[in-house]
Structure 1
């Protein structure tokens, strides 16, 4: 029995219906072509009258391409309109021969990005002008990009929402992901990720950084380390080196040899371990000493640290020299409320990871939820979206979206009020004093967020001198 396949192809304006007929006959020798998604431009619609009789499997799809030579326009249209049609196709064949050179290139770019279903094959069909025969060859295109690795990770972990760089709309998130892409490509230089709780720092390390570096991740939640045993946990120990050391232990640093060591909530790492780790990072061979060992060990480790504190808060918590060493490459992951354009996509991704088999396939949405996404603080970021999704699943239609949103915590509910605690330091100040304090806080926050006074001043549409004066 022949395998059923779906063929995706552009109209060959100068060669169809002959080219398509030859391709279908060639594929038909081995496969059952069950569906043909036939992309065409409106100005060539009259050609469909000669194409449709070739097969009942042909499904013409009009694509509004204004400039058939514009790579970006074609890329965006295919990604937005055509990919949803083929996401569930188990045996997809894409003919890269028909259409303009720009159309050919886009198929290759998307294929390299890993966006098509597993098992998708690229084919190239050509008609021999002399003999009239048709060739149909597989296109061997084994480009391995971090985007293709990211899509593979997504397919292997369907219950884990991940960032999708190619779908990002907000400038703030684009900037952060581009910084991660650039910094992660540099070997042996630590990276520091800053961002609020629930923003997905661990997910970024495991699904993006690891794919760029092509290395596995050893994750350590620094807050779980016992202060008395933290050095042993990090660097390992020899049997008998202290009471309770009944066997040799490798330690996280040794386990991360040839891998990425991810230290989450780095502010909780004990100062003694910070200083020892600093000495190791400063050494090109990453030499360190296991507790109770009289010899030095080495490990090829890539260090990534993360914190939910702001840059200024983290500086106060960490040893100054250690902070300087781990923050050469610093990336601030913006909260969801600063990426409103991406929230609907985020919501759809979160829904896919938490929905039950009995839940609707499409994420719930109405005017109340749309307004909520535009106005809420989303204090828990992705965790807030997960919480809402779980509420929908629990009530299963017994409560409306409006009712569910009203039951959310005050700071995230549609009619939420400010916690007066947030303004307690302003309460006993007069207007002039409170304004000065607010300007000082805004200036410090902006400089932390945007990295430099110049960048913060540009964003706030003021001068660097104004910020300097505000922070005095």
Structure 2
């Protein structure tokens, strides 16, 4: 093998001897290490007394107490793992340099499948300075649901998905609940969350994997128009020359053995909800195709998603249909409530789109994303990524281009930081009126519907929406 990477902490007590010994021992085992990622507690230059052919990179991970398991785990999750996600060459981790707490964290990360597929853990020893270096593989590979899920997700890296072991408490709680609920057979699962929060990708990646890799048949109910909805779902038959032939099998048939995913379920016509409700009774789904008297049968799990709050969704759906699909509810938090996961989200968006190179990251970008409201969630990250690429098609992303990209990004649709803007009371009220007008139009579809819902004049909302924030640069 060639082009392999070795990851380890810098040894405090033994200098570079631990590292050089590990490199020698790995070479004897046939591993050609060309890159070393050396972790240090404080910023410092890479050691000079190492083989010249090596590419040495130091990464400072400030940990106040190297015996604190939780602090070590969270620091590595937040700072190190995003750097490894795009690694293509084989990765080796020498667990020996560091504290016993660090050894435990390496094992936990490996058991949870946090490292790139194929990563190997090693333990190096040199009994005394004159003895030859030795290295042994660390055989610690218990299968956990987390490691199995990550291994499955790694098979489709082009599909961005949330890390199931999220850093933010809100997202971690939601995904833990999702993992439990997805394993309940036959009971519908309802996923709630704002537009762009990633409900579809959660269903098509995490939920599908948790349910054993089942196929997903998706129906976007917001695109349903006019007649044909029931034929699309249930199928239909036609009689010609005294013969009955199937014209369309329907999505319920296609979902047999898998998952039927009704996205934007609030837009499903009420008549269709009532008919679908009958098909959802019992473990085996039974329904009639249009134009047929015999029942069809299939087995599938139902997952629904909506961007409406639960109280609004309950008012919108048929009461019996809502009761049937709402037993198990998971609400995905918006990105602005998960700041610890923003860097990982940004990296996944960048790689999913297929932009060249590593995703850019800097304190300025981190601050901009943390302070932004991100009303469109992942779609805001996608738009920023596209703007960044347009500013540096052939060169490095320097500070000037960074500012240019962020200014363009903020100019369209990204409100100022804070729930009520910034500035004086008058300015904050102005900000709120503008955001309310834009939100109402987006939520209810038309200015007329928005004005009716807010009990105000339509022209008032239009004027508010066109106003500029007086405190924006």
Structure 1 residues 337-346 or 190-199, which shifts more? 337-346
* Structure 1 position 284, deviation (Å): 2.6
**Using a 3 Å threshold, how does the CA distance of structure 1 residues 67 and 278 change in structure 2: closer, same or farther?**
same
Partner of 1:220: 219
* Structure 1 position 354, deviation (Å): 4.0
For 2:390 and 2:53, the matched residues in 1 are separated by: 44
* Structure 1 position 199, deviation (Å): 1.8
Partner of 1:149: 149
Structure 1 residues 419-428 or 230-239, which shifts more? 419-428
Structure 1 residues 200-209 or 399-408, which shifts more? 399-408
1:418 matched to 2:418: no
Alignment of 1:380-419 (within 5 A): 380-394=376-390, 396=392, 397=401, 400-401=404-405, 403-405=407-409, 407-409=411-413, 418-419=433-434
For 1:406 and 1:78, the matched residues in 2 are separated by: 31
For 1:217 and 1:252, the matched residues in 2 are separated by: 10
Gaps of 5+ in 2: 393-400, 423-430, 441-449, 458-473
Partner of 2:395: none
* Structure 1 position 202, deviation (Å): 0.5
**Using a 3 Å threshold, how does the CA distance of structure 1 residues 374 and 426 change in structure 2: closer, same or farther?**
farther
Partner of 1:296: 295
1:111 matched to 2:115: no
* Structure 1 position 213, deviation (Å): 1.9
For 1:157 and 1:108, the matched residues in 2 are separated by: 24
Partner of 1:379: 375
Residues 112 and 148 of structure 1 are in contact (CA less than 8 Å); yes or no, is this contact kept in structure 2? no
* Structure 1 position 191, deviation (Å): 1.0
Alignment of 1:238-249 (within 5 A): 238=237, 240=239, 247-249=246-248
SS where residue 260 of structure 2 aligns? strand
1:280 matched to 2:276: no
RMSD: 4.5
SS where residue 324 of structure 1 aligns? helix
**Using a 3 Å threshold, how does the CA distance of structure 1 residues 54 and 390 change in structure 2: closer, same or farther?**
closer
SS where residue 34 of structure 2 aligns? strand
Alignment of 1:280-359 (within 5 A): 280-339=279-338, 342-343=341-342, 345-354=344-353, 356-357=355-356
For 2:339 and 2:61, the matched residues in 1 are separated by: 29
SS where residue 239 of structure 2 aligns? coil
SS where residue 303 of structure 1 aligns? strand
Relative to its length, the structure with more helix (as a share) is 1
* Structure 1 position 22, deviation (Å): 6.3
CA deviations 1:421-467 (Å, max 9, x no partner) are: 56964769xxxxxxxxxxxxxxxxxxxxxxxxxxxxxxxxxxxxxxx
* Structure 1 position 326, deviation (Å): 0.3
For 2:140 and 2:340, the matched residues in 1 are separated by: 37
**Using a 3 Å threshold, how does the CA distance of structure 1 residues 241 and 66 change in structure 2: closer, same or farther?**
farther
The one of 194, 205, 208 aligned to 2:206: 208
For 2:403 and 2:50, the matched residues in 1 are separated by: 51
SS where residue 136 of structure 2 aligns? strand
1:122 matched to 2:136: no
* Structure 1 position 308, deviation (Å): 1.8
SS where residue 297 of structure 1 aligns? strand
Residues 6 and 89 of structure 1 are in contact (CA less than 8 Å); yes or no, is this contact kept in structure 2? no
CA deviations 1:62-109 (Å, max 9, x no partner) are: 765555554323322333444356453602122346655543332232
For 2:362 and 2:52, the matched residues in 1 are separated by: 38
Partner of 2:71: 73
Structure 1 residues 320-329 or 89-98, which shifts more? 89-98
For 2:4 and 2:147, the matched residues in 1 are separated by: 26
* Structure 1 position 225, deviation (Å): 3.8
CA deviations 1:257-312 (Å, max 9, x no partner) are: 22121110112223333223222322132333344455433322111101122222
Gaps of 5+ in 1: 429-472
Residues 92 and 120 of structure 2 are in contact (CA less than 8 Å); yes or no, is this contact kept in structure 1? yes
CA deviations 1:224-252 (Å, max 9, x no partner) are: 34553222221233453999x96453321
1:174 matched to 2:189: no
Residues 97 and 104 of structure 1 are in contact (CA less than 8 Å); yes or no, is this contact kept in structure 2? yes
For 2:160 and 2:52, the matched residues in 1 are separated by: 40
Residues 225 and 233 of structure 1 are in contact (CA less than 8 Å); yes or no, is this contact kept in structure 2? no
TM-score calculated relative to the size of structure 2: 0.70
For 1:146 and 1:66, the matched residues in 2 are separated by: 28
* Structure 1 position 58, deviation (Å): 9.7
* Structure 1 position 392, deviation (Å): 3.8
Aligned pair count reads 416
CA deviations 1:338-385 (Å, max 9, x no partner) are: 44555455445434444743x884157748x84575254x33222233
Residues 191 and 329 of structure 2 are in contact (CA less than 8 Å); yes or no, is this contact kept in structure 1? yes
